[in-house]
Amino acid sequence: MDELLLRELTPAVIGVLVHRGIDFATAEDAVQDALLQATVIWPDRPPADAKAWLVTVAWRKFLDAHRSEVARRDRERRLDAEPPPGVTEYSDDTLQLFFLCAHPSLTATSAVALTLRAVGGLTTRQIADAYLVPEATMAQRISRAKRTVGGVRFDEPGDPATVRRVLYLVFNEGYTGDIDLAAEAIRLTRQLASRTDDEETSGLLALMLLHHARRPARIGSDGTLIPLAAQDRSRWDTSLIVEGVKILQAALARDRLGEFQAQAAIAALHADAPQAAETDWLQIVGWYDELLRITDSPVVQLNRAVAVGEADGAAAGLAALSGVPAGVPRRTAAAAYLHEKAGDRGEAARLYADAAVEATNVAERDHLTRQAARIGHERRS
């Protein structure tokens, strides 16, 4: 059975049911039921027309649910007559589903969950496993999200920027359970890019591809985190890099720079360097300056300070870092790195140890702990 095909058809089938007059929440439930039935039937009896099969079964699931309600008996005759295929059967409503699932009224976590289920076609269990929460918790989150957008018109114009933020959240979750969320985010961003004439969506896709290309070299065989400078660049996926750079160049040529395009340009410069020592840090600092003009983000300030340290020396990097507010994630780790680069190894060891305590995941914590121990050992030798 082609699970990817099932997931790719999900938004189209939901769209058909909505056009037949079913509210979004009910349509989404019916399609999920149809998907579950497909996983049982399709391995032995694959349909000739997968989309038509899903539409038919989802519609019947909807009818069965409503026939049991006494209050709807007077509507039975209308519901029994299955509408013949028309233009709405073949329309592509994926973009509208993206907008609905990333509606501004939703919290970020709810928007992510609803997008993965309604647009991505994942089951509640798969999403729960990916986010390491109980299935019941994720089911409640999705139900609340559907209630929240229950009154939103299906054809209401949406904001691609909101959708991009949701997809980037999914991408940054990486890989947990049996679902590769980074790959899923790339798949969904490709769908979004194919349906919008938007250079920032292209920039986001390029950024994801360039980051994903480095994934094989990011984690050692023993599970340890490998920093960018120490990665074996021969393990980077050059096909993803080539594709990402091509998409980015086309987006930049439109001369409407946005946050994701600038981030992708920085990632492309890292990808272009055969060795870490050959990285064009001056250009990277320039792109961080552009990014700061767009976002004025303290995280961007932090990353720029590290780049300045590489381009102009540790003292310049520490001076730039002094303007980054305390409490910004990874600020302590950046300070440790720049102090080590400046030759202040005692302060660097102390800061690495502090940064390990602040780390939000095990891999990063272990890496920073090893850095502190390494400097301590070198100082004693």
The pTM score is: 0.86
Q: What is the mean pLDDT of residues 362-369?
A: 91
Q: Where are the domains of the chain?
A: 6-90, 197-278
pLDDT of residue 246: 98
Residue 100: pLDDT band (50, 70, 90) is very high
When the pLDDT of each residue in the chain is averaged and rounded to a whole number, the result is 89
Closest CA to 142 of 124, 161, 165, 125: 124
Q: Which two tokens stand for residue 373?
A: 């121990």
Q: What is the pLDDT of residues 1-43, one digit of tens each?
A: 578 888 889 999 999 998 888 899 999 999 999 999 998 898 8
| Res 306 pLDDT > 90 | yes
| Res 222 pLDDT > 90 | no
H-state helical runs in the chain: 3-19, 24-41, 50-67, 76-80, 87-90, 94-101, 108-114, 124-130, 135-148, 160-172, 181-195, 199-213, 238-252, 259-272, 281-295, 298-312, 314-321, 331-342, 345-358, 362-380
Dist CA 377 CA 380 (whole Å): 5
| Res 247 pLDDT > 80 | yes
pLDDT of residue 88: 45
